[in-house]
Amino acid sequence: MSSTLRSDVAQSLTKAEKDIKQQLLQGPNEDNIIAIESDGDLLIKIHGQPGEATLYYRVSSIVLQKASPYFDRLLDPKKFSEGAAFGTQIKILKESYPDVTMAPATALPIIHISDVGPIPARFPSKNVVTHFFDILHDTNSFWIMTGTLHNHIALLAILADRFDASKPVLGHITDQGWVHMHKETKENKKEGSQSPARSKEILWRQRIFAGLILGVQDWVMSYSRLLIDAGSERWKIASDAELNVDDEAPWWYLPRGLEGETVLLIRSNLGELIDGRGVGIPPRINPRDY
């Protein structure tokens, strides 16, 4: 390698290192702060999906603690270092401002959340995370759906499970009239380039998953019945490695033992019980309606 080429490579590496350091050192600014609560006293720092920018959500610590036992524990100065640091920083701000709400957003305490739950890599997290914090603050703000409505609800369920906030999320989807929504809307009839059968299974699994997390029994029972009747792509393979599981979306591995219990039911030839008489599952439903 010539000395000139070595010099160019060294300069490129130095520039790349500087760019990385600058990105790591970059804090909150007006371009990367999303104001969920304009008078909020806390910034929640969340790394986006691969390719997404790191964002800071301005929120109210009091609202978060009331809405989520997770944040109630995290912000408790007697339980976690994050809570102790938050309390100390708030005291410092009160010495500089008559009211913490008067402090610029960039001066607020920051809590870093490195994991928002198993959101599939192909879905951007910004819209659903913003909607989730809006729900906790009951702001009724305009929100942007991530994929189909069924998909968006499933992603909200992931966040609700991660941050122990199923109750306010269930309240929101109930207020929106989504709990009793069964029929597919026109935009929900296709899931990208998926085959019709796979698209239906994804929809059913998303509703079962969300129902388990949020406590909507009707979704769990109704859509489990459809899945059992139609069979699952996942149950027909020898190992998980053979299945393209949609970026390992959690609805392909139904939680709380439901996936294993359903497979056991099928393999034990107990299908005759799934007729609405013995196990509390609703009568047969026409899959074409879903």
Q: Which two tokens stand for residue 206?
A: 């998303």
**pLDDT tens figures, 273-287:** 444 433 433 333 333
**pLDDT tens figures, 111-137:** 999 899 999 888 889 999 999 999 999
Residue 53: predicted pLDDT? 85
Beta strand spans in 114-252 (E): none
**pLDDT tens figures, 60-97:** 999 999 999 999 999 999 999 999 999 999 999 999 88
Model confidence band, residue 211 (pLDDT cutoffs 50, 70, 90) = very high
The rounded distance, in Å, linking the Cα atoms of 244 and 158 is 20
Which of these, 44, 61, 64, lies nearest to 115 by C-alpha position? Answer: 44
Longest C-alpha distance within the chain, in Å?
82
* CB distance 170 to 214 below 8 Å: yes
Q: Where are the alpha helices (DSSP H) in 26-110?
A: 61-67, 69-74, 81-96
- The dihedral of CA 40, 42, 48, 52: what is its sign? positive
Residue 232: predicted pLDDT? 80
Decide the pairing of beta strands 55-59 and 110-113.
unpaired
Q: Model's pTM, two decimal places?
A: 0.77
Residue 243: predicted pLDDT? 54
Model confidence band, residue 241 (pLDDT cutoffs 50, 70, 90) = low
Residue 19: predicted pLDDT? 43
The mean of the pLDDT values for the chain is 78
Q: Which two tokens stand for residue 255?
A: 């939680």
**pLDDT tens figures, 17-67:** 554 344 444 578 878 999 999 999 999 999 877 778 899 999 999 999 999
Model confidence band, residue 248 (pLDDT cutoffs 50, 70, 90) = confident
Residue 242: predicted pLDDT? 54
**pLDDT tens figures, 129-162:** 999 999 999 987 777 787 889 999 999 999 999 9
Is 90 exceeded by the pLDDT of residue 163? yes
**pLDDT tens figures, 172-209:** 999 998 887 654 443 444 444 455 577 888 999 999 99
Beta strand spans in 6-109 (E): 33-35, 42-46, 55-59
The rounded distance, in Å, linking the Cα atoms of 94 and 78 is 21
Region at 248 (left for phi over 0; alpha for psi -120 to 50; beta for the rest): left
Helix (H, G, I), strand (E, B) or coil at 256: coil
Residue 224: predicted pLDDT? 87
